[in-house]
Amino acid sequence: MSEEIYLSFRNIRKSFPGVIALDDISLEIYKGQIHALLGENGAGKSTLMNILYGLYHQDSGEIFLSGEKYEQNTPKNAIRHGIGMIHQHFMLIPNFTVLENIILGQPSPKPPKLEKEYFRNEILNVAKKFGITVDLDLLIEEISVGMQQKIEILKALYKGAELLILDEPTSVLTPQESQELFKMLTALNKKGTTIIFISHKLKEVMQISDRISVLRDGKLISTVNKSETTPHELSRLMVGREIITQYSKAEIKIGEEILILDDITLGDHHNQHRHLLKNVSFKVGQGEIVGIAGVDENGQKELAEIISGLRKPTSGKISMFGKDVTHCTTRQLIEMGMSYIPADRRNQGLVLDFKISENAILETHYQKPFTRGLSLQRKVIDKFANELIQEYDVRTPSINVPVKNLSGGNQQKVIVGREFLKKNHFLLVMQPTWGLDVGAIEYVHKKLLEAREKGVTILLISTDLEEVRKLSDRILVIYEGEIVGEVDSSTDIEEIGLLMAGSHKH
C-alpha cells in the first residue's frame, strides 16, 4: 500500500455554543486507504467530516488536499475537488427515478433539453467501471435501503469522487446488506478510491479498514494500523474502560400475559392481494423480553404501529393488561403504561426543532407535574430534562439545545431516556441501540434487563440478531409479515438467520 498523504487536517478546532466539538485535531489520511473513525457519541466524528465536506467551517486550522491548502470549503467546492459524502440520512427524492436522482443538479450538455439518454450512458459507464449493477429506471421509493445507499455512492462516483466519506453507513443496513456494502467498498478501494468510514461497530471496522483513528471529547486519542490493534484495545481507547458485552440474565418467573395479539392481519392499500401482516398471534408475559427478529421491511414497522395504536389492523384483536385495546388511541395506551421507542428517531421519535427539554415531555407534557392548572411548569420540566441528560449521559451543553444539534447517538439517548423514565409497564422497543456507541449500548441493555427484573413486559424488535439473542427470553422470527418460527435465545445464529431469510417456505 502506498504511503502517500492524500488529505491532512492540521490543528482543526471547532466549537459550538457551549461545546468544543473538535479540539486541535491533526490527522493524515493516506491515499488509497480505508480509514475508519471511531469514537463515542458526540466525540466529533460527524463534525470533522462535515467540515471537510463544507457543511461547517472550522474556527481555526487548515486542511491540505494532495499537498495543497484546501480553502473555501463548501459542498460545491468539495465535489469539485473529488470529495463525496454519503450522509447517514439519505438525500434522495422518493418519487424520482434512480436516473433522475443522480442527474439532479447536473448541467445538461444541451440546455434547455434534459438529455436523459446522454446521462444514462455516462452513468452506466461509471457503474460498469466500478462494478456496480443498477436499474436506473426504478423509483427510489421502490428500492431497498441498501440499494439506495448504493445509488448515493454511485452518485458520488459519477460526480468524480476520489474520496468517499461514509457516516455510519451500516446503521441502517441489515447484516447481509452491510457485507455487500463492504464488498463494494473494497472493490472501489482497489480501484484507487480513498474511503473514510465512520462506525460504532468494531467488528466492521476491523474487517475493512487499513487505519483507525479514535476520537474522544473532540480530541484525537490515537491513530493505529488495523494490523497492530485489537477490538479490545479500540474499545478501551474509545471509552477509556473495559466494556462488558456478555450479561448474566437473572432468573425470573414470568407472570401473567400482558400483551396478546390475536390473529392480526393488515392489508396493503396499494395491493389487494398482499398482506403487510398476516395472522400474527403471540403473547408476552409480565417480566418477559420477547424478541422479534427479521430482516428489515418484513412488517416490523407495521407491527409496532399497530401495537402502539398508530394504525388499526384490518382484522384481529389486541389486548394489553387484560383489556381489549384494539380500538384504543395512542394516548390511552400511553396512559395505561405503554412506552414506545420507534425506529425512526428523526421523523417520529423526536421533534428535531424542539429543545431537549421539550422532547423530554413529548408524551407527558399535559400531565402532572409538568402541567399545573393551565400552564406548563418550566422549572419542573427543566429539572426533569436535566435528570434525563445526566442519567442517560446525553452529551450537550444544556437542555435548551434543539435536538437537531445533538450528535446522532445523543438524539437516540434522549428518546431512550424519555421512554424509560416515563411510567411504564410495557415497553415496545425498536432498534433501541441504533447509532449508539459501545458504552451506551451496554447501558441501554442493562436498563432493559433491569426493567425486566422489575416486572416490565418488553417486546424488542430489532434487525440486530446478536442484540435480540443477548436480551430475549424467546425469539419470534418475522418474514414477509408472518411469524414463521419461535426459537429460544440459545439457538444459533445460523439457524435464526435461515428462518429470517424465509427458509421455512422451501
Partner 1 sequence: MSELSTTSNTPTLIKERIILFARKNMGLVSTLISIMAIGLALLIGGILIAFAGIDPFDAITYLVKGSFGNRYGFGETLTRFVPLLFCSLSFAIAHKSGFFNVGAEGQLLMGAVGAVLVGAYIDGLHPVLHVLLCIIAGVIFGAIWAGIAGFLKIFLGSDELINTMMLNYVAILLVDYLIHGPIKPPESYLYVSETILPSAKLPIILSKSPLHLGFIISLVVTAVVFYIIYRTPIGFQMRTVGANRRAASYAGINIVWATIVALITTGGLAGMGGAMELMGTQFKIVNGFSAGYGYDGIGVAVMGRYHPIGILLAALLFAVIRVGMGAMQRGAGVPFPLLNVIQGLIIIFVIASGYLTNRLSETVIGGRA
Ligand X SMILES: Nc1ncnc2c1ncn2[C@@H]1O[C@H](COP(=O)(O)OP(=O)(O)OP(=O)(O)O)[C@@H](O)[C@H]1O
Minimum distance of ligand X from residue 377's CB (angstroms): 26
List 358, 419, 437, 464, residue binding partner 1 (CB under 8 A): 358
Q: Does 407 bind ligand X (CB under 6 A)?
A: yes
Q: DSSP for 333-384, please give it.
A: HHHHTEEEE-S-IIIII--TTSBHHHHHTTTTTTSTTTEETTEE-HHHHHHH
When the beta carbons of 32 and 309 are compared against partner 1, the nearer one is 309
Out of partner 1, Mg ion, ligand X, none, which partner does residue 96 contact, by CB within 5 to 8 A per kind? none
Task: From the list partner 1, Mg ion, ligand X, none, pick the one residue 213 interacts with, judged by a Cβ distance below 5 to 8 Å according to partner type.
Answer: none
Mark 317-346 with x for binding to ligand X (rule: CB under 6 A) and - for no binding: ------------------------------
Nearest to 43 by CA among 135, 164, 168: 168
| Closest CB to partner 1 among residues 90, 130 | 90
Q: How far is the CB of 351 from ligand X (least distance, A)?
A: 16
The answer to whether 426 contacts partner 1 (rule: CB under 8 A) is no
Residue with cell 486507504: 33
Q: Note the residue count of the chain.
A: 506
Which residue number, 61 or 502, has a Cβ lying nearer to partner 1?
Answer: 61
**Piece of the chain touching partner 1 by CB under 8 A; list 126-134, 176-184, 218-226, 342-350:** 342-350
Which residues, other chains included, contact 452 with Cβ-Cβ below 8 Å and sequence gap of 6+? 249, 250, 252, 287, 288, 289, 458
Which phi and psi angles does 55 have, rounded to 5°?
-80, -30
Residue found by looking up cell 435528570 in the block: 387
Residue 247 binds which entry of partner 1, ligand X, Mg ion, none, with Cβ cut-offs from 5 to 8 Å by kind?
none
46 touches Mg ion (CB under 5 A) = yes
**Position 371 contacts partner 1 (CB under 8 A):** yes
Site for partner 1 in 2-41 (CB under 8 A): 11, 13-17, 20
Residues 388-447 that bind Mg ion (CB under 5 A): 407-408
Taking residues 342 to 381 in sequence order and writing x for each that binds ligand X by CB under 6 A, - otherwise, the string is: ----------------------------------------
**C-beta closer to partner 1: residue 127 or 304:** 304
Does position 189 interact with ligand X (CB under 6 A)? The reply is no
- d(CA 21, CA 31) in angstroms, rounded, equals 26
* DSSP per position, 281-341: EEEEETT-EEEEE--TTSSHHHHHHHHTTSS--SEEEEEETTEE-TT--HHHHHHHTEEEE
Of the chain, the end-to-end C-alpha distance in Å amounts to 46
* 395 makes contact with ligand X (CB under 6 A): yes
Separation of alpha carbons 317 and 306, rounded Å: 10
Q: Is the Cβ–Cβ distance between 422 and 434 less than 8 Å? A: no
- The residue among 313 and 439 lying less far from partner 1, judged by its C-beta, is 313
Q: Is 430 helix (H, G, I), strand (E, B) or coil?
A: strand
> Residue 107 and residue 317: Cα distance in Å, rounded?
55
Q: Which residues bind ligand X (CB under 6 A)?
A: 16, 19, 21, 39, 41-47, 395-396, 405-410
